[in-house]
Structure 1
């Protein structure tokens, strides 16, 4: 089985993990931290902004089933790439919009996707999503994994994650699971 990795930061990793778990061809989604200066960051240091890391997800996927371009389409569909260091009420550099690429092909595809979105005028403001080479990814603590699946009725999940899933279900550019 041919697999690849994609690493994306689109605000709260509970949200992005829940979204990408819905796609056929996605084998695993791990929430975690990337692009900071502190080794072995933890949730508290990331939330305080002390570590410099972004909340992100590392996706293991089958490129024969779901393409990297499709993952990028879902990424831009389900978060606001025009707000610097913010997604809704989550504010701070840990909530930045970023694409962490694993090879030159991903880097080129990410930049091309952003150029196309800007040329097509999809957003009313400039896209601030960073495109950078992936660095060390630190998986988040176990209680963050599958957060939405375990806490669907929690207020944050209903107010923030459920609308992202609804948007995905309404406009999905790829086949969804079950």
Structure 2
């Protein structure tokens, strides 16, 4: 099993995608990359903690290749906008990848290079060593599955899932 910690705007979007991905065994929404020792949703969403909203995606690489997990990440958000994903603005929504070792760092950097030609603007995804990971509050975990009718899910998440399904249908469950 491997775990990648990835930020692509609101963690609900990445959580929704990876919860539906074959070979993924766990997705945990959380916060990392900031200076506050005990961040919570209020401090992170206010932009005062320095943390990014992220997901820790644990997957079985014998079922799904790590490159597919990373390429899905680059399809599921706009990695060319600095500190912004759609209506979500601030450093807490930055495109970010947090590596655990040099092997992951190299893998993440190669994924950026591999996916750059899909975007007309430069990818600005931050690649940073993983510090403390803080699990988000329970109501953020598996949010989309619990609230598919909620407006944010309908307007923001559903189009991202449709885009991912267009390119990665073989890896997604219904």
Calculate the TM-score normalised by the size of structure 1.
Answer: 0.94
1:172 aligned onto 2:165: no
Gaps of 5+ in 1: none
1:155 aligned onto 2:151: yes
In structure 1, distance between residues paired with 2:69 and 2:115: 14
1:133 to 129, 144, 151: 129
The alpha-carbon deviation at position 19 of structure 1 amounts to 0.6
Q: Stretches of 4+ moved more than 4 A in 1?
A: none
The 10-residue stretch of structure 1 (106-115 or 154-163) with the greater mean CA deviation from structure 2: 106-115
Q: Secondary structure at the match of 1:172?
A: helix
1:90 aligned onto 2:122: no
1:36-115 residue pairs with structure 2 within 5 A?
A: 36-115=34-113
Calculate the TM-score normalised by the size of structure 2.
Answer: 0.96
Are the counterparts in 1 of residues 82 and 94 from structure 2 also a CA contact under 8 Å?
yes
> Residues 174 and 104 from structure 1, CA distance in 2 versus in 1: closer, same or farther, beyond 3 angstroms?
farther
Q: Give the match for residue 32 of structure 1.
A: 30
Q: Give the match for residue 17 of structure 2.
A: 19
Gaps of 5+ in 2: none
Q: Give the match for residue 142 of structure 2.
A: 146
In structure 1, distance between residues paired with 2:119 and 2:83: 17
